[in-house]
Copies of this chain bind each other. A is one copy, B any other.
Amino acid sequence: MSDQPASSAPAFAPHDHRACEARALDQARDRLAENGARLTPVRRRTLEILLESHRAMGAYEVLDRLAAEGFGRQPPVAYRALEFLVEHGLAHRLQRLNAFAACLHPGHDHAPAFLICRSCDMLAELPAAPVRDALADLAAENGFQVERVTIEALGLCPACAGTAA
């Protein structure tokens, strides 16, 4: 019951990002413990790398970082860690970008919406229940059984929209 309402997520607003990172890592540990899965060094480091910023990173970008720190330098190393994180709800895959981002509020199942700034690459992960509901209605009308949804908006974050104007 200590859940903050997810809508309080800072998104593009400035915030204490250290707290962001720490909280996500803690929740990741909890979640994996529940599922009996292991947060090994590569996986942990991969998550930390994703958590450094509110951006999405390509698998090869992550791989470069891992390799530089003594982990394997072949694609499967990064892809496996990323796939693991996604499977366990600790990271998301951004379909438009072929890239990955840390999940900012794991701990409960969610299929968030993403706002992606095309100028600065920043990313906001938002609870998308109303959007999903609207989509579920559409699907129901067509007898379609939804399993996974992708909801992504590309555009300008407040900061970049401001400087452009």
Query: Interface of A with B (CB < 8 Å)?
Result: 7, 11-12, 95-96, 113, 115, 117-118, 124, 126, 128, 130-131, 133-135, 137-139, 141-158, 161
Selected from B7, B96, B138, B158, the residue in CB contact (under 8 A) with A144 is B158
Shortest CB distance A47–B (Å): 24
Q: A95-B96, A131-B131, A143-B161 are in contact. Are A148 and B138 (CB under 8 A)?
A: no
Interface of A (DSSP majority class): mixed
What is the count of identical protomers in the complex? Answer: 2
| Cβ distance A64 to chain B, nearest Cβ, rounded Å | 23
Q: What are 13 pairs between A and B in contact, CB < 8 Å?
A: A95-B95, A95-B152, A130-B134, A135-B153, A139-B153, A144-B153, A144-B156, A144-B157, A144-B158, A146-B154, A148-B155, A149-B154, A150-B153
Q: Please give me the residue from chain B that is nearest to A117 by CB atom.
A: B144
- How far, in whole Å, are A144 and B152 apart by their CA atoms in the complex? 12
- Chain B neighbourhood of A142, CB < 8 A: 11-12, 115, 124, 126, 158
